[in-house]
Amino acid sequence: MTYAFSFSNDFLIGDDPELQPSLRPTLVLQAILSLSERQRIQLAPDIFGVSPDRLSAEMILDRAVATKTCENLDSPVRVWIDEAGFNTLFVHDRE
């Protein structure tokens, strides 16, 4: 079952200007910053039609917000990047 993605900016981007990648990201933006190089190389042409060096975190965030879908409501929340749900991000509760 999927759910409409309607989270606040606190879940999407937070307010930390020094946001760093994490093994347990607590924001959608942090999950994007935590993607491996291999994942970014795959996403760039497949989903965005650009080379990996032109793929920005903002592009991925905008696509996830436009897709408006998450797979569950408990932690970690699986947020869809694409409409088919093949590419996802995991966002964990803050501890």
Q: Which domain holds residue 81?
A: 3-12+22-91
* Within a domain: 83: yes
DSSP letter for 62, please: H
* Within a domain: 17: no
* Within a domain: 40: yes
| pLDDT-above-90 percentage for the chain | 87
Residue 73 vs residue 95, higher pLDDT? 73
* CA separation for the pair 80, 71 (Å, rounded): 7
| Residue found by looking up tokens 């991925």 in the block | 60
pLDDT, tens only, 76-93 = 999 999 999 999 999 999
Pull the structure tokens for residue 53. Answer: 């060096």
Q: Count Cα neighbours of 84 within 13 Å in the Cβ-side half-sphere.
A: 4
Give the mean pLDDT of 64-70: 94
Q: What is the CA radius of gyration of the chain?
A: 12
Does residue 6 register a pLDDT over 80?
no
* CA separation for the pair 46, 68 (Å, rounded): 19
